[in-house]
Amino acid sequence: MTGAADTHGERARDLDRLLTFVDAVVAIAITLLVLPLAEVGTEVGDGSVGDLLRENDDKLLAFFLSFLVIAQLWMSQHHIVSGLVLQNTLITRLLLAWTLTIVLLPFPTTLVAEVGEDSATKVLYIGTMALSSALLTLLAWAVGRDRSLRDTDSRPDQAQAAGAVIGFVLALAITLTFPETGYYPLFLLFFADPAVSAWRRARAGRKRTAHMGE
């Protein structure tokens, strides 16, 4: 009995270490985003700060977009694993793959600032975000399918994660079809959760109507 408890405690510590590592990777990725802006600050010279900001508005936009997206992805990941008390091989691999997409984001972010409207840059930038969301969808499924890994009966919301994937794919399609929109279609991401909630309400309403008609 004691041996089983020790094994359980060791596995729980392994999970804590894994999640701490994931959080550290996210923190490092966000820190890397701001490094190009730190270099820009040294270029002010005798000019005005306003001129410097206007000259580097692409870098500022890329930083804020990437920061918001990484923060949103991290919050989604945090919600998915909030009830997790043990991990298995699949969950470990999915979390590590997800951290790869996060730590990669500073690279296309730099390309966005330097190249801007290049189609390949858009595919790499938004595609990395879409892949990150897709991995979170798989993670939510993996956590939800095995009750023994959680300390709650509630399963992670796969629909919310899938909604983010659809949002990224839609944003990529819009920005490639209408290049003048730039990267602003990415703000569709922040409508993904309300859209999923509205879809659920509509679905529940149809079920109630069908049930009443029987």
Q: Which residue has the higher pLDDT, 47 or 55?
A: 55
- Listing DSSP states for 101-170 in one string gives HHHHTHHHHHHHHHH-S-HHHHHHHHHHHHHHHHHHHHHHHHHHH-GGGBSSSPPP-HHHHHHHHHHHHH
What would the pLDDT profile of 113-167 be if each residue is shown by its tens digit?
Answer: 887 778 898 999 999 999 999 999 999 999 999 898 888 888 888 888 888 888 8
Q: Is the confidence at residue 210, as pLDDT, over 50?
A: yes
- Whole-prediction pTM: 0.82
Query: CB–CB of 99/131 below 8 Å?
Result: no
How far is the C-alpha of 40 from the C-alpha of 199, rounded, in Å? 44
List the chain domain ranges: 2-213
What would the pLDDT profile of 189-208 be if each residue is shown by its tens digit?
Answer: 778 778 888 877 887 777 67
Give the pLDDT band of residue 45 (cuts 50, 70, 90): low
How far is the C-alpha of 157 from the C-alpha of 64, rounded, in Å? 27
